[in-house]
Amino acid sequence: MCKLTCCPTITFKSFTAIITIVDIVMFIVTLAFGMQTGGRTEFLSPTIDTLVKFGGRTVYDIVARYQVWRFITPVFLHANFLHIFFNCFSQLIFGSQVEVMLGTKRFIVFYFLCALGGNLFGGLFDKLLGVSVGASTAIVGLLGIFIAFVIVNWNRLDTNMRCFMMCMVFFIILINLVFSVGPSDGTSAVDNFGHLGGLLTGTFAGMFFIIPQGAATLYEKRVKIIGYCLTAFFFILCSVLYYVIHKK
């Protein structure tokens, strides 16, 4: 039913399906290694220590131990049942559409690029003892490519289509913000800055990942170059700031 109504293009061999299965398996594994019990814990929540051991984003391990892979591994981890449920549901819907748009190989690169950008930007605001996990940095990045699609094809879309697509994307982003109120400082379970970083990465990278409809015009070539420049600037700036802010 979900395939027919929400993600008709998905197949079991698609990367979207595979990465979702991996997320679910990793969630089960982390619960098996250590699950929170008692108190006011969320339903089916791995312990903080377990999430750290399996690659959650932590300032100390990245800066002091140079474990830079922790900018990627959080996409395979989730904090509780609702967290993984909504992330997997969103991933199946948006991921299946973007995978068809880009092709599987390019989609894999785009997915992890958004995850890296989201975790890098979100990490700028991390507290020393905080840990962040979740595929939402990559998932929100998938929304960014729809913004990029409108930018790249601006001269090819009529006014109604531009308005519809932009309103749709911003409405989804607004819903995400409404249900994600809270600081990304360890007092909230929501990594708002990670989401924003993923969105920016998806928008910037989408400007050169998207193939124009037809022969590329001068405008579309310029958009592609600007996308490359913005993406490079974003990653360089965030990388430098991350170590400047947290090195102490």
Active-site pick, 180, 195, 239, 246: 195
pTM recorded for the entire structure: 0.89
Q: Is 136 a catalytic residue?
A: yes
Is residue 176 scored above 70 in pLDDT?
no
* Reported confidence tier of residue 64, pLDDT bands at 50, 70, 90: confident
Residue 145 CA to residue 151 CA, distance in Å, equals 10
* Reported confidence tier of residue 185, pLDDT bands at 50, 70, 90: very low
Mean pLDDT taken over the chain:
86
User: If you average pLDDT over residues 69-78, what whole number do you get?
Assistant: 94
Q: Angle at Cα 148 formed by Cα 145 and Cα 154, nearest 5°?
A: 145
Q: Is 195 a catalytic residue?
A: yes
Extract the tokens encoding 58: 């932590």
Residue 111 CA to residue 81 CA, distance in Å, equals 22
- Which CATH architecture best describes the domain 10-246? Up-down Bundle (1.20)
What type of residue is 10? I
Q: What is the pLDDT of residue 11?
A: 79
Residue 10 CA to residue 48 CA, distance in Å, equals 33
Active-site pick, 45, 90, 136, 184: 136
